Amino acid sequence: MLKCFATTSGGLSELLREELMTLGAKNVKAQPRGVTFEGSKELAYRACLWSRLANRVFITVLEAELDNQEQLTTSIAALNWQEHMDLRDSFAVSFSGKGMGIDHSHYGALKIKDGIVDYFMAKTSDRPQVDTVNPNLRVHGHLNRNQLTLSIDLVGYSLHQRGYREGQQVKAPLKENIAAALLLRSGWPEIAKQGGSLYDPMCGSGTFLIEAAMMASDAAPGLDKQDRMLLNQWKQHDSLLWNRLVDEARARKVTGLQNMPAIYGSDASHKSLDIAEEAILNSGYFKHISVKQMTVEQGRIWGDWPTGLVISNPPYGERLGEVEEVKRIYTALGNYLKEEFDGWQAAVFTCNPELGMYLGLKAKRSHKFANGPLEGKLFRFDVIETYHREPAIKGGANLADGVQTAYPDLSETEGAKMFANRLKKNVKPLRKWAKKYEVNAYRVYDADMPEYALSIDYYHTLEGGEWLVVNEYAPPKTVDKTRAKKRLYEALSVLPTVFDIPTSQIVFKVREKQKGSSQYEKLDENKQFFTVIENGVKLRVNFTDYLDTGLFLDHRDVRAYVAEKSRRKSLLNLFCYTATLTAQAA
């Protein structure tokens, strides 16, 4: 019975434990970065050939408790290394962990190397060569305080490198074993057995597509590079056993290819699809995977696809300034799923979990995964109407921008059109009046239609052009919240068109019954002021930092009256607030 250790990416240990148990491993225990297990040499070989999740597979040749640094070398030299390699073979050593005053991996590896060399010098008066690039044997030592574990690497490279990307100068967003783990968590193997389709609407370089095809065809992920594994050069290698397992894997793949489900992918980038098509060709699945250039906004099913799984790893705005654009992508993806994939399963992986809210679907489950240094989540959905949700829209001053992003066609609804017509009716005479009397700030709407309980104020500023400030009158508890929100969104959706003002210059606030000094409390810290001219006087306004802008528009006539009555007189303005009346009087 061999003691073994299979390494994997962060967060995959439990899935790898389950996978190794299905292969027949015994005493299987998940560790933070891998799984320990026991089994025969055949089991170790099967792990190398069939594991979709492991990075490397090691067999343990020594476990020792050390008293001092020197024992690290002497305990290695005491092993019979001629059971594992010949003098003419080259070797390489790697090292991890700390203890016994050893804090540097290079120094630890050097001590192990010295032990192997000391053994051969004692036995043969000669030494094998070290080759860190292409050795015949790779040895790994791990030190935890004074506990040494020494292992032999049966593979020699990371098993996530299946072989279909060789020669490609591309860094895929997901490693192949992480993509495989996400497919397993999404239930793809069972869906494939039932003849369901798989589709990735943002397939990029095609990793999900190829890994899904390998699972569906019962292909061993290590098969294409089986002849390069270092176990072939290990002195205890059983070539007859290995060849039997390889032949078995080839036969299973031939059988699996006869019952392949449909697999599809699309992407907006022609360059990404070129890379995907090359990898698909290299993998041997070019007859089974169909890809097409298409954005999620253009999304549509081509052909008659059996109900199955939609899986994707959309972008998540890792660069500054990208998040807003990515929100639009998630909203579009959610709309695509709801419109075209009713009754399907869906799985979306993201390293920015907040973006999942913009899909507009209620997740039935979520799973934590790591993608390199980034923590992420896999959201799983049943795409049925029961779980449809409104896409999340971030509230606050920029609500109009969020509405336009999430609901680009909302302005075409009957309610929105009705509200737009009322605004146009209001604005036409007001603009003539404002031009005649040189008024640059005025109210254009004040809950004229009770169901659209808003006030809308127009400002023409010297520095920033035209602005709208929209105040929602908080609805009473008797009003249905969902309907009130829909009407608010309809109103906001038509403002850019009616006033020809960008959403970035439409500020939204909620006006509730104020108590004490709450109306003077800060809402934001932009400290951005603009100038409005009223009655020939320049007044400063702030649209975002407070509930009020600093200029009460309904007091315009009062300010003019007081200014007129104050000519050649002293004026004491008690509780002057922002002193707009005082400024005009002066």
Beta-carbon count within 10 A of 199 CB: 26
State mean pLDDT over 353-379. 90
In degrees rounded to 5, what are phi and psi of residue 128?
A: -75, 165
pLDDT > 90: what percent of the chain?
A: 71
pLDDT > 70: what percent of the chain?
A: 95
DSSP H/E element including 212: helix 207-216
* Tokens 């009322």, located at residue: 422
**Can you tell me the distance from the alpha carbon of 106 to that of 95, in angstroms, rounded to the nearest whole number?**
7
User: In the numeric block, which tokens belong to residue 37?
Assistant: 């297990």
User: In the numeric block, which tokens belong to residue 465?
Assistant: 């052009």
527, 537, 544, 515: which is closest to 583 by C-alpha? 537
User: In the numeric block, which tokens belong to residue 72?
Assistant: 């690290």
In degrees rounded to 5, what are phi and psi of residue 523?
A: -100, -25
200, 207, 201: which is closest to 283 by C-alpha? 207
- pLDDT of 320 reads 46
DSSP output for 353-396 = GGGGGGG-B--SEEEEEEETTEEEEEEEEE-SGGGB-PPP---S
State mean pLDDT over 265-294. 95
Is 3.40.50.10440 the CATH number for 399-585?
no
Q: Which range (139-153, 342-356, 495-509, 559-573) has the least confidence? A: 559-573
Res. 256: pLDDT tops 80: yes
* Residue ranges covered by each domain of the chain: 2-153, 176-217+260-387, 399-585
pLDDT tens-digit series, residues 398-416: 899 888 877 788 898 999 9
Handedness of CA 141, 144, 145, 148 (dihedral sign): negative
Amino acid found at 492: L
Q: Please tell me the class of the 176-217+260-387 domain.
A: alpha beta
Beta-carbon count within 10 A of 14 CB: 12
State mean pLDDT over 145-149. 94
Res. 519: pLDDT tops 80: no
State mean pLDDT over 483-503. 92
Binning pLDDT at 50, 70 and 90, where does residue 564 land? Answer: confident
Contact status, residue 54 vs residue 4, Cβ threshold 8 Å = no
Report the first-to-last Cα separation within the chain, whole angstroms: 97
pLDDT tens-digit series, residues 210-248: 999 999 999 999 999 999 999 999 999 999 999 999 999
Burial of 74 (0-12, 13-18, 19+ CB in 10 A): middle
Helix 41-50 and helix 239-257, axial crossing angle in degrees, nearest 10: 40
Res. 511: pLDDT tops 80: no
- pLDDT of 319 reads 55
- pLDDT of 521 reads 55
Cβ within 8 Å of residue 235, ≥6 positions away: 82, 83, 84, 85, 86, 89
In degrees rounded to 5, what are phi and psi of residue 398?
A: -95, 25
Cβ within 8 Å of residue 321, ≥6 positions away: none
Q: Helical H runs in 407-480? A: 414-437
pTM: 0.73
Looking at the domain 2-153, which fold is it? VC0802-like (3.30.2130)
CA distances from 98 to 103, 128, 132, 145, 146 (A): 5, 27, 22, 6, 9
**Can you tell me the distance from the alpha carbon of 295 to that of 278, in angstroms, rounded to the nearest whole number?**
20
- pLDDT of 581 reads 80
